[in-house]
Amino acid sequence: MQIESDRVLLIPLTYEHLILYLQGEQKLERALNLEDSGRTISPELIEAFHETILISVANPANDYLYYTLWNVIDKTSRQMVADLCFKGEPNAKGEIEIGYGTYPPFAGKGYMTDAIRVLVKWAFEQPGVKTILAETEQTNTASHRTLEKNNFSPFKVKGEMIWWRLNKK
């Protein structure tokens, strides 16, 4: 499965893909027939892999699409440029939360704006999804702009974080 725009391709990574992603050394890139993007894995993402992502994706009771990384690929260069994820299946209110990050060499080039737009469209086509939430640091103005371009609105400030919401129309 994959979803795409004119510019980017989003691939939800299978359990096997996630293992290759974690191993580094361009193993996932080779498996997906992609060019090397020089990506690195943050300690926070490694922790999330081991604490929630791998366990949740491996659980057959879960819809893995709401727990895995969605890899963002530039269609022209055939390079991985970013990752997105949902932080679980819709809750009783129909809310899901997204998280995302652009690889440093590709930041500020609009990839994430495009990727979020495509993923939001897909999510709102899924049964039970009514609202998409996101959380950003108050100082992350680039992330604020990305969410604003995708019609998210801030609705809560908690500590150093701003919470954003986009409701299905």
Give the tens place of pLDDT for each residue, 137-155.
Answer: 999 999 999 999 999 999 9
β-pair type (8-12, 69-74): antiparallel
Tell me the CA distances in angstroms from 19 to 50, 53, 87, one per residue in order.
Answer: 11, 11, 19
Global pTM? 0.93
AA letter at 77: S
pLDDT at position 8 over 90 = yes
Q: What is the pLDDT of residues 79-138, one digit of tens each?
A: 999 999 999 999 999 999 999 999 999 999 999 999 999 999 999 999 999 999 999 999
Confidence at residue 39, expressed as pLDDT on a 0 to 100 scale: 87
Q: Is the pLDDT of residue 24 over 90?
A: no
The structure tokens 């998210």 sit at 152
Split at pLDDT 50, 70, 90, the class of 25 is confident
For the record, the structure tokens of 162 come out as 């701003």
Chain CA centroid to CA 44, Å = 14
Matching CATH number, 3-167, of 3.40.50.300, 3.40.640.10, 3.90.1150.10, 3.40.630.30: 3.40.630.30
The pair of three-digit structure tokens given for residue 142, joined into one six-digit string: 């680039």
